[in-house]
Structure 1
Amino acid sequence: MKNKIKLDKIDRKILEILQSNAKITNANLATKIGLSPAPTLERVKKLENSGIIKSYHAKLDTDIVGLGVSTFVMVSLKGHNKDNIDKFIESIAEIDEIIECHHITGSGDFILKIIAEDIAAYQRLMLEKVSNIDVVDSMQSMVILSTFKDSKIMPLP
């Protein structure tokens, strides 16, 4: 487990602002938090170097880029041992359409978030790649019909 890093009020404000708008300039960020640009940049670099800020991403409109089908797939493995888990993780790392993978408790072993161009592309992906992973025992697909909340903003304790 990683060491928890103590954040002060200014660090929390920086993280709140950057989660909402990672493209904000350092000068604008400095104004919003009430510091000059140099110490603001220093604080952001500290948050990046400590690993709290892992990366910056552009959020794409899936419809506009032609990715019309999103699903969650619950996967159960043939055996829940380290070798099977490692083989599964290694295999799914090679499949770009799997955009999230979570090891879970409950009736399945993993839940995947998969994005594809359309139902036909999704079906090909499942038949030709995911179901061919030799350690996979069963899969249950759930097609996402609508998304009402898709926030990437973490509530800071």
Structure 2
Amino acid sequence: MTIDKTDIRILQLLQENAQFTLKEISQKINLSMTPTHDRIKRLENEGVIQKYVTILNKKMIGNPLTVYCSISLDKQQKNHFEEFEEAIKQFPEVIECSVISGSFDYMIKVIAKDMEAYNEFYQKKLSDLQSVAHISSSFVMSEVKNTTVLPL
């Protein structure tokens, strides 16, 4: 799939505000509504646009604590990776999970109400997974930059 300058502008606008109307996007890119609609549908169908979401303020919904956990598994075996990944997908506190290189196997991003809630998650869920050998937690003191906008 080829993405041209007009597609890039559409993607930039939608990342800025997914609630822009078709009319607003059309006006901003100087294109009529039908071809603008066709381009957006093509970007959706091709998987460039995966989904539209609402980003919530963590503090205002009562989950201000962010923790990054570096995790090592006890054995580097396929079934251990699969077991860990399936378990992590079930934990609503985990909002990101990535396989990483280096000293650890995974990096997860955890959101919690407070230290007590994180400790409960840590003890009753995360450390309870049989394949987990080591967990290193880093607590976010303040966020310097937090965006979902990808550079295009």
Q: 2: CA distance between counterparts of 1:109 and 1:145?
A: 24
Q: Does 1:80 align with 2:103?
A: no
Q: How many residues align?
A: 152
Q: Does 1:95 align with 2:91?
A: yes
Q: 2: CA distance between counterparts of 1:150 and 1:6?
A: 29
Compute the displacement of 1:88 (Å): 0.3
- State how 1:41-52 maps to structure 2 within 5 Å: 41-52=37-48
- State how 1:60-75 maps to structure 2 within 5 Å: 60-75=56-71
Structure 1 residue aligned with 2:108: 112
Compute the displacement of 1:104 (Å): 0.2
The TM-score normalised by the length of structure 2 is 0.98
Compute the displacement of 1:82 (Å): 1.2
**DSSP-derived class of the 1:52 partner:** coil
Q: Does 1:153 align with 2:152?
A: no
The TM-score normalised by the length of structure 1 is 0.95
**DSSP-derived class of the 2:136 partner:** strand
Q: 2: CA distance between counterparts of 1:47 and 1:80?
A: 38
Q: 2: CA distance between counterparts of 1:35 and 1:118?
A: 48
Which blocks of at least 5 consecutive residues in structure 1 are unaligned?
A: none
What RMSD over aligned residues (CA atoms) do the two structures have, in Å? Answer: 0.7
Q: 1: CA distance between counterparts of 2:19 and 2:64?
A: 27
For residue 129 of structure 1, what is the amino acid of its counterpart?
Answer: K
Which blocks of at least 5 consecutive residues in structure 2 are unaligned?
A: none
For residue 72 of structure 1, what is the amino acid of its counterpart?
Answer: Y
For residue 16 of structure 1, what is the amino acid of its counterpart?
Answer: Q
Q: Taking every aligned residue pair, what percent have the same amino acid on both sides?
A: 36
Compute the displacement of 1:97 (Å): 0.4
